[in-house]
Amino acid sequence: MNDRAEDDADRPQADPAARSGVGTPQGRAAVTAGTAPAVGRGQRRADAAPQARLDRRGVLLGLLTTGAAVATGAGIAAWRATRPPSTEAGPVAVTGRTTTVTVAVEGMRFVPDTVDVPAGNRLVLTLDNTGDQVHDLVLQLDDGTTASTGRVPAGETGSLYAGVVSGPLEGWCSIAGHRAQGMVFHVTAAGQAAASTTATAAGADDAVPDYAAALPDDVEPFDAALAPADTATTVHEHTFTVTEQAMYVGGGVTQRRMTYNGQAPGPVLRGRVGDTFRITLVNEGSMSHSIDFHAGVISPDAPMRSIDPGDSLVYEFTAQRSGIWLYHCSTAPMSVHLASGMHGAVIIDPPGLAVADREFVMIQSELYLGSEGGETDADKVAAKNPDLLAFNGIAFQYRDRPLTAKPGERLRFWVLDAGPSLPTSFHIVGLQFDQVFHEGAWTLGGPDDVGAGWSGGSQALGLQPAQGGFVECVPPAPGTYTFVTHAFADMEKGAMGYLRVTG
């Protein structure tokens, strides 16, 4: 049998829905390289003894198989790779042998992260997801295409077929931020390594924001107006459904956002000290997600765990202390999930809070643009180098859709810095604050009248990531008052808006 005919005969069948090895003892095995004798097309081989051989560098050396088809210990019933192998006619002599390797996961690492394959062998990689969240393994082939295991839930396995290996190859996990966190994989051919593409692959096609671009007419701004706490409700039950979709983020660009209930920030919850919050988290996304409510005091292990797509959990807490509290996804890398939209606020009114004429919420966050419509750029997140800053998820949205008020009204702005990494300094041009509540206490005003008889005022509310508070002011006359972060480089990237006072 010549190689071409053989390749056609034993080419795996594409079946994206199937997962190999699920529920078998092999599915939980450690790193293995199988040596499989010939088996016929479609047959499984259940008795191959897993073997592994590591050289002194810890590199898994590929073991040769003599057969045409490929099998791990439990057999590979079907394939998640959906491309025909196009490296069959590479520049090397095809050996007719197949190297099979099982790769495990430890934290944000593939183990092993390098495998050496004899040039001319076919390569089959099985990802045994021994991690605690969804991963995949994508391999860049030398014809410019990729092969992928598809998304593999924690505790399951998936395989890819790379065709005939003629030279070194690079692989990675394609889930947002995982590659930047170190989930890269290398195939060396007879000891020869590929030039790393990691440094140049990220950021090359990133979207460029146009700060003057207006919010499109059909895009609704995030509603910054806050209703008073519902005093008739002491148990607050909500369902937060996680979804991922392209959304407008300002500056004329869209990004694939990770959201609670299809919005970024997520829903703003409000109650009083002693209220119970019972949140059902449902993951309808494509990767693992979770939630962490700062408003509750709770053992984090179970309620803050990451859940796979299709799963749900119930998170319950009773508010013990007042303030504006952050909630966010706590699935690694948290910085990327939070920057991609998975954050929001729980407001617990301090006892004695007076009624204001209008209340607004401003949640500042950073945006690190990937390609237009694409995912957050994890390298920019790591470098704390955002393209846009936003109040309530969309840069410049209240420049294009100003807030409104009347002269003489008492206005309260609740401000939360969601980060993930930069502070804010909230200021309103032309106004001073006479009531300031910062992280759990009034520093000016309040029921105890902090500063009474004193002439002090406040010009800015400074907050580190995950800190919050509120300020109050009274615009004296009609006009356009600009609210900003007084970190002006961040203001110029979108953390600003207009308060239009008329009447």
Which residues carry a binding-site annotation? 289, 294, 328-329, 337, 342, 486
CA distance 196 to 371: 21
For 289, counting Cβ atoms within 10 Å of its Cβ (0-12 exposed, 13-18 middle, 19+ buried), the class is buried
Q: Is the peptide bond before 112 cis (omega within 30 degrees of 0)?
A: yes
In whole angstroms, the minimum distance from the beta carbon of 337 to Cu ion comes to 4
Footprint of Cu ion on residues 341-370 (CB under 5 A)? Answer: 342
Contact 342, 267 (CB under 8 A): no
Residues 69-98 that bind Cu ion (CB under 5 A): none
In the region spanning residues 278 to 297, those forming contacts with Cu ion, defined by CB under 5 A, are 289
- Contact yes or no for 61/117 (Cβ under 8 A): no
Question: What distance in Å separates the CA atoms of residue 393 and residue 88, rounded to the nearest whole number?
Answer: 48
Range in contact with Cu ion (rule: CB under 5 A) among 151-159, 187-195, 329-337, 355-363: 329-337
**Measured from the CB of residue 332, what is the shortest distance to Cu ion in angstroms?**
9
Q: Which amino acid is residue 327, in one-letter code?
A: Y
Q: Does 181 bind Cu ion (CB under 5 A)?
A: no
Selection from 62, 65, 31, 60 nearest residue 48 by Cα: 65
Beta strands in 107-234 (DSSP E): 109-111, 114-117, 122-128, 138-140, 146-148, 157-164, 169-172, 184-189
Among the candidate windows 57-65, 213-221, 324-332, 418-426, which touches Cu ion by CB under 5 A? 324-332
Alpha-carbon distances, residue 238 vs 265, 267, 455 (angstroms): 15, 10, 44
Q: Which helix (H) or strand (E) holds 338?
A: helix 334-339
Nearer to Cu ion, 337 or 380 (CB): 337
Q: Which is nearer to Cu ion, 146 or 243 (CB)?
A: 243
Compare residues 329 and 381 and give the one whose CB is closer to Cu ion: 329
Closer residue to Cu ion (CB): 329 or 496: 329
Task: Label the pairing between strands 114-117 and 60-61.
Answer: parallel
Smallest distance, Cu ion to C-beta of residue 495, A: 23
> Shortest approach of Cu ion to residue 154 CB, angstroms?
14
Contact with Cu ion (CB under 5 A): which of 19, 337, 380, 427? Answer: 337
Question: Does the footprint of Cu ion cover residue 304 (CB under 5 A)?
Answer: no
3-state SS class at 160: strand
Residue nearest to Cu ion (CB): 329
Minimum CB separation of residue 305 from Cu ion in Å reads: 12
Q: How many helices (H) and strands (E) does the chain have?
A: 6, 30
> C-beta of 331: minimal distance to Cu ion in Å?
4
Minimum separation from the CB atom of position 342 to Cu ion (A):
5
By the rule CB under 5 A, 329 interacts with Cu ion: yes
Q: Which part of the chain contacts Cu ion (CB under 5 A), choosing from 88-96, 179-187, 245-253, 333-341?
A: 333-341
Site for Cu ion contains 331 (CB under 5 A)? yes
Comparing CB distances to Cu ion, the nearer of 24 and 280 is: 280
In the complex with Cu ion, the residue whose CB is nearer, 244 or 417, is: 244
- Which residues, including other chains, have CB under 8 Å from residue 384's CB and lie 6 or more apart? 366, 421, 422
Compare residues 380 and 412 and give the one whose CB is closer to Cu ion: 380
Residues that bind Cu ion (CB under 5 A): 289, 329, 331, 337, 342
